[in-house]
Amino acid sequence: MSLSQDANRVTELENEVNSLRERLSHQISFSATLAQITEKGYLECGVSTGLPGFSMPNAKGEWHGLDVEFCQAVAAAALGDKAKVKFIPLNARERFKALQSGDIDLLSRNTTWTLQRDTALELHFAGVLFYDGQGFMVKKSLNANTAKDLSGASICVQSGTTTELNLEDYFKLNQLTYTLVPFDTAKETIVGFEENRCDVLTADQSGLYGLRLSLKNAEDAVILPDIISKEPLGPVVRQGDDQWFNIVKWTLNAMINAEELGITSENIDTMKNSDIPEIRRFLGLDGPQGKSLGLNPDWAYQIIKQVGNYGESFDRTVGVQSPLHIQRAQNHLWSQGGLHYAPPIR
């Protein structure tokens, strides 16, 4: 081997060592999220800048929605109090950087689980909170019945999202033309739609139902039946802290398991008298309790008592008890024809 080859090899090894040091430092800095939130006394949770049904502040500045309630469920499990959450509104471009940098502890912001985000961005999706798909909302005056009638239309879209990429793929595949009208936030897209800056608004279909509520003349807008993508939306954490990842993941599993077991926020105290092994393990009366998560034995009890099971949260925020009236469909439990299926607590 020549001297130049030796030098090149040394440089390669130095680069490898530096890369390993950087990755190790990154992991160490984020390896104690539970300890950090316990010390500061609250969870910092990234949410949207305002999307009805998922994360939206009311006139008093109080946050509500499915994503918001999941943040509260994690706080109930980890800190014993669902109120110990600080909500950080983030647009689509800001959300991942805020999580990677440690500005937030958890991202619960109608975010689609994809290969690139799960790997290249060094993030972990803790599961699917809401199964969705991209759709289109159009002005009635456009006389469009399907997405294939939209060639030549101007389309409002939130930039920095999978929505923008799916739109490009769909129109290219179907040899349709369109004019892109991008905005930074969901609120800006609906304003643009209402001000006739575009003929069509595209987003996750659940989001379209929420955005339509804010229109002055909602009856003038139609949501087309077409779904052009898979959008599994779920909570996200940084890689490098397996304990925190497990806590967030099992918070979601607990909410789903509780619904399947028939445990609700209203009957959970009477369930303490149950002799059913699964229920007793869930309540922390028997079995592994919270030891492997580093939590108190009643961690799952606190989630359901303070927030509710998955079905309760869904119905209240986006389902039949909400202004959106979204049907459960694929968001039903697996035993009811849906896709939600949680591993057992044992």
Dihedral of alpha carbons 55, 56, 60, 61, sign:
positive
**Rounded distance between C-alpha atoms, residue 275 and residue 301, angstroms:** 16
Q: How confident is the model at residue 25, as a pLDDT?
A: 45
Q: How confident is the model at residue 248, as a pLDDT?
A: 98
Closest CA to 44 of 82, 75, 85, 72: 85
Q: How confident is the model at residue 186, as a pLDDT?
A: 86
Q: Which two tokens stand for residue 92?
A: 């689509």
Provide CB contacts within 8 A for 84, sequence distance 6+: 41, 42, 43, 75
DSSP code at position 288: T
DSSP class per residue in 150-217: -TTEEEEEETTSHHHHHHHHHHHHTT--EEEEEESSHHHHHHHHHTTS-SEEEEEHHHHHHHHHTSTT
Q: Which two tokens stand for residue 251?
A: 């918070």
Closest CA to 49 of 70, 72, 65, 73: 65
Q: How confident is the model at residue 288, as a pLDDT?
A: 87
Bridge partners of 203, per DSSP, are: 135
pTM for this entry: 0.85
The rounded radius of gyration (Å) of the Cα atoms in the chain is 23
Per-residue pLDDT in tens (0 to 9) along the chain, 346 residues: 555 555 566 566 566 555 555 544 444 444 599 999 999 999 999 999 999 999 999 999 999 999 999 999 999 999 999 999 999 999 989 999 999 999 999 999 999 999 999 999 999 999 999 999 999 999 999 999 999 999 999 999 999 888 999 999 999 999 999 999 999 988 899 999 999 999 999 999 988 988 898 899 888 999 999 999 999 999 999 999 999 999 999 999 999 999 999 999 999 999 999 999 999 999 999 998 899 999 999 999 999 999 999 999 999 999 999 999 999 999 999 999 999 999 999 9
DSSP H or E stretch at residue 69: helix 66-79
**Rounded distance between C-alpha atoms, residue 46 and residue 195, angstroms:** 29
Q: Which residue has the tokens 């689509």?
A: 92
Q: How confident is the model at residue 213, as a pLDDT?
A: 87
Give the relative orientation of helices 66-79 and 242-261 as an angle to the nearest 10 degrees.
110
Q: How confident is the model at residue 29, as a pLDDT?
A: 44
Whether 185 contacts 47, CB under 8 Å: no
DSSP H or E stretch at residue 223: strand 221-223
Give me the helices (H) in 91-161, please: 95-100, 115-119
Triad 300, 37, 122: Cα angle to 5°: 90
List the strands of the sheet with 178-183, edge to edge. Answer: 178-183, 153-158, 200-204, 134-139, 221-223
**Rounded distance between C-alpha atoms, residue 3 and residue 242, angstroms:** 44
Helix (H, G, I), strand (E, B) or coil at 85: strand
Q: How confident is the model at residue 250, as a pLDDT?
A: 98
**Rounded distance between C-alpha atoms, residue 152 and residue 158, angstroms:** 19
